[in-house]
Amino acid sequence: MTENTQPPATTGPHSAATELPTQYAPAEVEGPLYERWVERGYFEADAASDKPPYTIVIPPPNVTGTLHLGHAFQHTLMDALTRRKRMQGYEALWLPGMDHAGIATQNKVEQQLADEGKSRHDLGREEFVERVWKWKQEYGGRILGQMRRLGDGVDWSRERFTMDEGLSRAVLTIFKRLFDDGLIYRAERIINWCPRCLTAISDIEVDYQEDAGELVSIRYGEGDDSIVVATTRAETMLGDTAVAVHPEDERYAHLIGKRIKLPLTDRTIPVVADSHVDPEFGTGAVKVTPAHDPNDFAIGQRHDLPSLSVMDERGVITVHGPFEGLDRFEARSAIVAALREQGRIVAEKRPYLHSVGHCSRCKTTVEPRLSMQWWVKVEPLAKAAGDAVRDGRVAIHPPELAKRYFDWVDNMHDWCISRQLWWGHRIPVWYGPDGETVCVGPDEQPPAGEGWTQDQDVLDTWFSSGLWPFSTLGWPENTKDLEKFYPTDVLLTGHDIIFFWVARMMMFGLYAMDGKEPFHTIALTGLVRDEHGKKMSKSNPNSVDPLDWMDAYGADAVRFTLARGANPGADVPIGEDWVQASRNFANKIWNATRFALINGATVEGPLPDAAELSATDRWILSRLNTVVAEADAAYDGYEFAKASDLLFHFAWDEVFDWYVELSKTVFAAGGRPAEVSQRVLGEVLDVTLKLLHPVMPFVTEELWTTLTDGESLVITTWPQDSGYRDEAAEAELATVRKLVTEVRRFRADQGLQPGQRVPATLDLSGTGLAAHEEAVRQLLRLTPAGDGFAATASLPVAGAVVALDLSGAIDFAAERKRLTKDLGLAEKELKQATAKLGNEGFLAKAPAEVVEKIKARKATAEADIDRLTTQLANLPG
């Protein structure tokens, strides 16, 4: 196909134009462009600048992570925001970094150790942590390279990691402050425990799903003093310390206060009355296991019941007796079997669907467990976090999602922040030989002397990421960065992470920064889904690697597709078809610019006066300014889909399909000065490329730097609506478009081929276009009505009258029928063959010559051509 893309001879300053290939090749363009941007320091923000700041901190991806479509989506939007603000004259900072991701990273390294037949305990704490750092060095942060590939305009000189020295200092500082303020405390409570990760996890790290269990009803006690309870976790009965019934439940009134025998043990337990019990549910009696169930724990507190732990940290039964050493699930069946043998199982229901908590990291069934942990007292912090949104200091986009935020911050339980891991920020508390507890601040030495030990636990990963908006800027030091760039402007992230991260940044930001909120706007995005709206996840087969798509179609195509799907708060379905469509758009822009360059479009000098402009010019400039205003409004409202769609249609439908096509008649006119059109076309492209740059940075940069003498779009000035409008020109062009479209439709209906010239008379007296008769004739492919002209049809449209001679029209249906018969092909076959080759129209002419012509042009249709050639050769005569 390259043999017929010979560049036309070139003249003038834009000979580079013709060096542009006919197709956009992202792979060749994107890498070098990104390197150039970084080398020139375009993304490095200057804290000493006079420009107003615009700051976004990236939601730090896990150090273990790779770029998935969700990142690609959010990064595209954040990049678009910062790129646009930079062009608008802000000192724009998009700050990158990564999260140390406690459990995830520790799991990765433990897996590595397991492959070597070792556990972390074989190494010991210090060596293990060293090993994790080594792992990070070697395998961590792959996502950073992938972000470059996407085109993320982040300030690499400010890259941060949550375990950096500076950020660790921030963690210690705030821990100490919270501790001293009494907002951090240690307490024994029921927590969610993962028996595989061997650590506590917070409520939001638990994923609930419907599991099929078995609900058994067990008779406790004997005779009249017996009571039936139901459970799905029979093994916990070993730790029962009471049975609870509703205080007003008459069925059990006689039992309240009595003790009954607990089966399989030699213990007796009391029957207590507690209004938490729902008399309607089951038998209306509940077994109470304070050490293994949060509700039961609460009942235990109210009735002063002992808590009996029956399992160790791995979920293995520790109670002496026949079940000791059994895993919790083995113990469950064993205990049910034993009870059944004693005739104590009075009813079973299996499968019984109920929701069961799983560790969000490893999917292991969570075991509620009584344990000593560190907690943040969130009430005062959460109140402030709620108020900041309530009184409008922080806006949530889209506003509907604010309710979700309030639901959370207004009903937040205390936050369990200690994790029984080695990888993370170690809790800065030391215990003395006589039970003293000392919290050690960042500049303090741990207490000296014998017998002092540091707490073994580390902090929840979200504790350090909650400090991200200011710890990354140097807090607790009073740095220039902090002064310039805090508070940040927009926090853009998925709505699924409101509780994990957003609310915590709000709490910590307001607390640490003296009530100064960490950002003004929370922009919440939906989740990326596949083309049928199904959730994409790493474990799903529908999951797509955005890198594959970037390789195949370019980063801009992926970005544009994502931006175009980004309706505020709504999920984004994405399929390969749409990425292809975006790729096509990039290619379209490429070729339109190529056309402009070949025809000498220029951005030099001022725009010609309105008096010099044609109606077409005035129309497109009027539209251009309208689009600038509309695009601005959409970008400002985080309506990326609207902005993208608007620009897509303006560029393709109006600029490329009409303005450029209409310009051709000017450029082809010959002799007539084309400077005005060259300048206007240059202007329109210049502005359109700028408007698209935030979402399609690569192709726009490549084209713009070719079209203009500018250094880079990244640092150029964002277009402004000049206020220029011309309604008369818009109306006139509407007439032209209507006229042309109607005539084309008529021609198609009559069987005239698109390029076929038809003799016709044209009366434009009713349209105001009389002066442009020649141009209109060209558009409509009308030739002058010569001698002997006989109109066979007359078409009144848009105030004009067109009379045509249709004698040259082809009856396509009849042609097809004839060919089908002649070639001995089934009609369907013919269609398939001709679809790639061309069509019946020209096959009707000279077959040999036609096939020749096609062969030269269509390498991809080789097979079909061969077959058709054979068919044609075998035709008799």
Residues contributing to the annotated binding site for ATP: 538
- Contact of 574 with 70, CB cutoff 8 Å: no
Kindly report the three-state secondary structure assignment for every residue of 524-582: EECCEECCCCCECCCCCCCCCCHHHHHHHHCHHHHHHHHHHCCCCCCCEECCHHHHHHH
Shortest Cβ 65–RNA spacing (Å): 20
CB of 599 to RNA, least distance (A): 8
Report the C-alpha dihedral over residues 140, 142, 143, 145, rounded to 10 degrees: 130
CA distance 602 to 428: 65
Tell me how far, at minimum, the Cβ of 510 lies from RNA, in Å. Answer: 22
CB of 409 to RNA, least distance (A): 12
Min separation Cβ 343 and RNA, Å: 20
58 versus 234: smaller Cβ distance to RNA: 234
CB 588 to RNA: min, Å:
5
**DSSP state for residue 427 in the 8-state scheme:** -
What is the spatial distance between Cα 388 and Cα 382, in angstroms, rounded to a whole number? 10
Which residues, at least 6 apart from 290, have a Cβ–Cβ distance to it below 8 Å? Answer: 239, 241, 296, 297, 299, 300, 301, 305, 306, 307, 308, 370
Question: Among residues 327 and 657, whose Cβ is nearest to RNA?
Answer: 657
The values of phi and psi at residue 485, to 5°, are -105, -5
The structure tokens listed for 9 are 């001879």
- Measured from the CB of residue 537, what is the shortest distance to RNA in angstroms? 11
Q: What is the dihedral of CA 710, 715, 716, 721, to 10 degrees?
A: 160
Choose between 340 and 535: whose C-beta lies nearer to RNA: 535
Residue 294 or 608: the one with the smaller Cβ distance to RNA is 294
Cis peptide before 608 (omega within 30 of 0): no
- The least distance separating RNA from the CB of residue 654, rounded to whole angstroms, comes to 11
CB of 524: closest distance to RNA in angstroms? 12
191 strand-pairing partners: 369
Nearer to RNA, 7 or 451 (CB): 7
Q: Is the CB of 813 or the CB of 873 nearer to RNA? A: 813
Sign of CA dihedral 578, 583, 587, 590: positive
Cα separation, 323 vs 316, whole angstroms:
9
Q: Nearer to RNA by C-beta: 259 or 737? A: 737
Smallest gap from Cβ 570 to RNA, in A, equals: 4
Helix or strand or coil: residue 364?
A: coil
Closest approach of RNA to the CB of residue 138, in Å? 34
Dihedral sign computed on CA atoms, order 132, 136, 137, 138 = positive
Measured from the CB atom, is 624 or 660 closer to RNA? 660
Buried b (16+ CB within 10 A) or exposed e, 1-15: eeeeeeeeeeeeebe
If the CB atoms of residues 286 and 326 are measured against RNA, the closer one turns out to be 286
Contact 122, 751 (CB under 8 A): no
CB atoms < 10 A from the CB of 116, how many? 8
**Phi/psi at 751 (nearest 5 deg)?**
85, 20
Report how far residue 417's alpha carbon sits from residue 467's, in angstroms, rounded to the nearest whole number.
Answer: 14
Residue 415 vs 486, nearer CB to RNA: 415
Residue 47 CA to residue 484 CA, distance in Å, equals 6
Give the Cα separation of 530 and 545 in Å (integer). 12
Residue positions forming the annotated binding site: 538
The distance of closest approach from Cβ of residue 230 to RNA in the complex, given in angstroms and rounded to an integer, is 5
DSSP secondary structure, 453-496, as one string = EE-S-EE-HHHHHTTHHHHTTTTTS--HHHHHH-SEEEEEEEGG
CB of 499 to RNA, least distance (A): 6
Q: Select from 429, 416, 412, 430 the least CA-distant residue to 375.
A: 416
Cβ within 8 Å of residue 662, ≥6 positions away: 616, 736, 775, 779
Q: What is the distance between the alpha carbons of residues 471 and 802, in angstroms, rounded to a whole number?
A: 73
Helix (H) or strand (E) holding 146: helix 142-150
Using the minimum distance from each CB to RNA, give the nearer residue, 127 or 379: 379
Pick 1 or 610: Cβ nearer RNA: 1
Shortest CB 864 distance to RNA, Å: 13
C-alpha dihedral sign at 459, 461, 463, 468? positive
Distance CA 489, CA 520 (A): 5
Burial category of 761 from C-beta neighbours within 10 Å (exposed 0-12, middle 13-18, buried 19 and up): middle
Hunting for tokens 């509780």 — which residue is that? 499
Query: Measured from the CB atom, is 37 or 578 closer to RNA?
Result: 578
When computed from its CA atoms, the radius of gyration of the chain, rounded to whole angstroms, is 37
Shortest Cβ 673–RNA spacing (Å): 19
CB closer to RNA, 539 vs 874: 539
Amino acid at 100: H
Residue 825: phi, psi to the nearest 5? -105, 150
The C-alpha atoms of residue 831 and residue 250 are separated, in whole angstroms, by 83
User: Toward RNA, which CB reaches closer, 25 or 114?
Assistant: 25
Say if CB 483 and CB 359 are below 8 A apart. Answer: no
